[in-house]
């Protein structure tokens, strides 16, 4: 099968030593040798999350961990506020609804950040409605997407957490494509549940979701003990094994090779240093964005709110996004991503994670775009 340079919002191209770890001999997911690896990975993840909270490794995608977080903290019929500004925040609403939750959506334009003051006003209105009417479900939590990957916006998370605290609400954060790519100190900012995956900014193949869970969140989860949730995505199940099965502190078989690969990648990241790791994404995105601007493209998001992990680029009227995508794939072996749903054909997206953070990938991409424009007589 042909290999392409992955410059998409995930999964990502990973380093050879990380791939090699995936092909190592299989290990059982218990026993002294395995637990040494497992606890080492958890300790390194706590450094990346900058947290003393519990950290869980859950086989599956980030959406599974978000499903677990929403369904475990809240009971069917309860109300969660979700700022909505793109495809993945709309998905968060769907996950909440699938768990029987009511959602208070607060809508923002795509390509624009969530505005803390607007959020504050809408939640204040909801609280006033609750005070006036006994029929209103009580607002119980705030859930949000940190980096809205469909548009490239990085939302102002510290200010939004501060708003949640004003209303004494726990906050659940979808950091699937931001954790490890930008500073996100979980404890300093006061995040109750933070969800990410191994296969984006942590530069590991897909297969593992990661959650940090605060003491406050565990208290809410314990209070929902008999709410009729499932078993695997019920975080109470995970807590039971953490507390009672020291030799096997998780309820299922873990994908040991994936976690060994994650261990290798985390060692690389922490040896480099988190700040240096973040800076690699800034360098890559700055190089790509400036190169595209020099070729007449505009960014979809203002620099102030643009996440360095993914660049969302407005299509030029004379450059159909589908044609550019196919040309880069077929002629230069590079994969980029298009816009989702109503942004299809309006933007294309370039990922800077994993090997895509390298100058080699960035320059290859820019040369490919220049080649496309030149062959069509557009430069």
Separation of alpha carbons 60 and 18, rounded Å: 19
Percentage of the chain lying above the pLDDT 70 cut: 99
Contact 67, 229 (CB under 8 A): no
Architecture in CATH of 16-269: 3-Layer(aba) Sandwich (3.40)
Residue 57 corresponds to which tokens in the numbers above? 């490794």
Cα torsion angle, 55, 12, 145, 228, sign = negative
Separation of alpha carbons 369 and 325, rounded Å: 10
What pLDDT, in 10s, does the model give residues 236-266?
999 999 999 999 999 999 999 999 999 999 9
Q: How confident is the model at residue 55 (pLDDT cuts 50, 70, 90)?
A: very high
Chain centroid to Cα 91, Å, comes to 13
pLDDT at 2: 85
Average pLDDT in the 276-298 region?
Answer: 98
What pLDDT, in 10s, does the model give residues 163-190?
999 999 999 999 999 999 999 999 999 9
Q: Where are the domains of the chain?
A: 5-11+273-375, 16-269
Average pLDDT in the 318-323 region?
Answer: 97
CA atoms within 13 A on the CB side of 162: 7
DSSP character at residue 226: T
pLDDT at 63: 98
Contact 200, 356 (CB under 8 A): no
Q: How confident is the model at residue 226 (pLDDT cuts 50, 70, 90)?
A: low
What pLDDT, in 10s, does the model give residues 92-132?
999 999 999 999 999 999 999 999 999 999 999 999 999 88
pLDDT at 351: 98
Separation of alpha carbons 309 and 251, rounded Å: 33
pLDDT over 80 at 364, yes or no: yes
Separation of alpha carbons 213 and 224, rounded Å: 15
Average pLDDT in the 332-361 region?
Answer: 98
What is the domain class of 5-11+273-375 according to CATH?
alpha beta
Residue 305 corresponds to which tokens in the numbers above? 């709110």
Separation of alpha carbons 180 and 353, rounded Å: 10
pLDDT, the chain, mean: 96
Average pLDDT in the 299-310 region?
Answer: 98
């Amino acid at each position: 099968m042909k290999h392409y340079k992955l410059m998409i919002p995930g999964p990502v191209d990973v380093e050879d030593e990380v791939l090699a770890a995936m092909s190592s001999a299989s290990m059982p997911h218990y026993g002294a040798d395995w637990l040494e690896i497992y606890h080492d990975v958890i300790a390194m993840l706590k450094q990346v999350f900058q947290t003393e909270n519990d950290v869980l490794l859950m086989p599956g995608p980030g959406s599974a961990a978000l499903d677990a977080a929403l369904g475990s903290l809240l009971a069917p019929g309860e109300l969660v506020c979700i700022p909505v500004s793109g495809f993945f925040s709309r998905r968060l609403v769907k996950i909440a609804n699938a768990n029987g939750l009511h959602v208070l959506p607060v809508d923002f334009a795509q390509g624009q950040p969530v505005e803390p003051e607007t959020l504050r006003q809408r939640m204040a209105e909801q609280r006033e409605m609750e005070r006036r009417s006994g029929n209103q479900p009580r607002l119980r939590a705030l859930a949000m997407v940190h980096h809205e990957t469909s548009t490239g916006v990085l939302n102002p998370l510290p200010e939004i957490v501060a708003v949640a605290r004003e209303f004494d609400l726990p906050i659940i954060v979808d950091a699937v494509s931001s954790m490890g790519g930008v500073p996100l100190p979980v404890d300093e900012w006061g995040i109750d549940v933070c969800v990410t995956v191994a296969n984006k900014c942590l530069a590991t193949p897909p297969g593992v979701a990661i959650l940090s869970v605060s003491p406050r969140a565990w208290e809410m989860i314990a209070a929902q003990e008999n709410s009729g949730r499932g078993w695997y995505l019920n975080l109470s199940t995970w807590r039971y094994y953490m507390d009672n099965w020291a030799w096997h502190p998780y309820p299922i078989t873990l994908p040991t090779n994936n976690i060994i690969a994650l261990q290798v990648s985390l060692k690389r990241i922490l040896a480099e240093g988190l700040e240096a790791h973040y800076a690699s994404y800034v360098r890559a995105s700055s190089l790509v964005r400036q190169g595209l601007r020099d070729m007449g493209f505009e960014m979809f998001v203002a620099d102030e709110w643009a996440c360095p992990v993914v660049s969302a680029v407005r299509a030029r009227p004379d450059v159909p996004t589908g044609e550019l995508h196919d040309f880069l794939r077929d002629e230069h072996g590079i994969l980029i991503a298009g816009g989702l749903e109503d942004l299809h054909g309006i933007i294309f997206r370039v990922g800077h994670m994993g090997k895509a953070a390298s100058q080699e990938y960035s320059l290859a991409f820019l040369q490919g775009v220049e080649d496309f424009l030149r062959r069509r007589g557009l430069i």
